[in-house]
Every structure is written in C-alpha cells, then in structure tokens.
Amino acid sequence: GAVVSQHPSRVICKSGTSVKIECRSLDFQATTMFWYRQFPKKSLMLMATSNEGSKATYEQGVEKDKFLINHASLTLSTLTVTSAHPEDSSFYICSAREGALQQFFGPGTRLTVL
C-alpha cells in the first residue's frame, strides 16, 4: 500500500511553545489529508480535513487558531500546535488520500507538553 510518513515521531516541549508536525505522502498525491488525535486508551477523533490549496475544515470543538493546518502541496501537510499546554499532550495521526481511493495513515506523533 501507499506510504505516509510523519515527523517527528515523538516530541517533548515546554508549556507555551509551538510544535510543528509534518505529514508526507511518499508515493502518491494526497489531494485530501486528515488529522486525528488519540488520547490514551481512546479511539481516533478527527480534528480536521484539508484539501490541497484550500483552508482546512475543522471538526466541532477543535480550535482552528490553536491547531494550524497547512496543506500547501500534494505531498505535504503540517499541523502546528500553538502555545501548547499539558492538555494538548496526545497521539496525533495524519492520514492521506488520493481522490476517492483508500485512506492511508502515518505512524503517529507522540506529543508530550510539560
């Protein structure tokens, strides 16, 4: 299947700092990318959907000014957690899809905010 990479795989930061997570589709053009968040022992919750070149669509309850999503190319999307706080500590997983094809997932990024 297609490959989606995420970087970094793990990040620890101080409260109040910003963290950027990159998501790349390695062998296909990701016309749509999705960002999910997973708290310990919980399921994946969709945060936002982004189409290349367009503004992201955020799910209810997700602050767009706090979670900045950029999808500037067909192979790269970034999620920036601004002014991170301990409650933002979570496992963030990106997913990418080319057109109507299957949705592929990255390996996830573990964010810990001290």
Q: Which of 42, 55, 64, 85 binds another protein (CB under 8 A)?
A: 42
Amino acid at 60: Q
Minimum distance between the CB of residue 1 and another protein, rounded to whole angstroms? 7
| DSSP states along the chain | ---EEEE-SEEEE-TT--EEEEEEESSS--SEEEEEEE-TT---EEEEEEETTSPPEEPTT--TTTEEEEEEETTEEEEEE-S--GGG-EEEEEEEE-TTS-EEE---EEEEE-
Q: Is 25 in the site for another protein (CB under 8 A)?
A: no
Q: Is 83 in the site for another protein (CB under 8 A)?
A: no
Query: Of the ranges 18-26, 62-70, 81-89, 90-98, which one interacts with another protein (CB under 8 A)?
Result: 90-98
- Considering only 13, 20, 22, 44, the residue that binds another protein (CB under 8 A) is 44
Candidates 21, 23, 24, 34: give the one binding another protein (CB under 8 A): 34
- Tell me which residues touch another protein (CB under 8 A): 1, 32, 34, 36, 42-46, 49, 51, 91, 93, 95, 100, 102-108, 110
